[in-house]
Amino acid sequence: MRTRPLKVALLGCGVVGSEVARIMTTHADDLTQRIGAPVELAGVAVRRPSKVREGIDPALITTDATALLKRGDIDIAIEVIGGIEPARTLITTAFEHGISVVSANKALLAQDGAALHAAAEQAGLDLYYEAAVAGAIPLIRPLRESLAGDKINRVMGIVNGTTNFILDKMDSTGAGYQEALDEATALGYAEADPTADVEGYDAAAKAAILAGIAFHTRVRLDDVYREGMTEVSAADFASAKRMGCTIKLLAILERAADGESVTARVHPAMIPLSHPLASVREAYNAVFVEADAAGRLMFYGPGAGGAPTASAVLGDLVAVARNKLAEATGPGESAYTQLPVSPMGDVVTRYHISLDVADKPGVLAQVATTFAEHGVSIDTVRQQGKDGEASLVVVTHRAADAALSGTVEALRKLDTVRGVASIMRVEGE
> Which residues form the catalytic set?
206
What does the DSSP assignment read for 101-162?
EEE--HHHHHHHHHHHHHHHHHHT--EE-GGGSSTTS--HHIIIIITTTS-EEEEEEE--HH
d(CA 424, CA 172) in angstroms, rounded, equals 19
Q: CA triplet 122, 123, 126: central angle to 5 degrees?
A: 105
d(CA 163, CA 203) in angstroms, rounded, equals 10
DSSP letter at 341 equals: B
- Classify burial at 187, counting beta carbons within 10 Å of its beta carbon; exposed 0-12, middle 13-18, buried 19 or more: exposed
Cis? peptide before 86, omega within 30° of 0:
yes
Alpha helices in 226-384 (DSSP H): 234-242, 306-326, 363-373
Rounded alpha-carbon distances, angstroms, from residue 49 to 12, 58, 105: 11, 9, 22
**Residue 270: enclosing H or E segment and its boundaries?**
strand 262-272
Cβ proximity of 128 and 103 under 8 Å: yes
d(CA 61, CA 64) in angstroms, rounded, equals 9
Task: Express the helix, strand and coil content of the chain in percent, nearest 5 each.
Answer: 40, 25, 35
Looking at the DSSP assignment, which residues form a beta bridge with residue 301?
285
Looking at the DSSP assignment, which residues form a beta bridge with residue 245?
272
d(CA 225, CA 341) in angstroms, rounded, equals 10
Rounded to 10 degrees, what is the CA torsion of 383, 386, 387, 391?
-40
d(CA 247, CA 324) in angstroms, rounded, equals 45
CA Rg, the chain, in Å?
Answer: 24
Contacts for 324 with CB less than 8 Å, ≥ 6 apart = 6, 75, 76, 100
- Give one word for 277, left, alpha or beta, with left for phi > 0 and alpha for psi -120 to 50: alpha
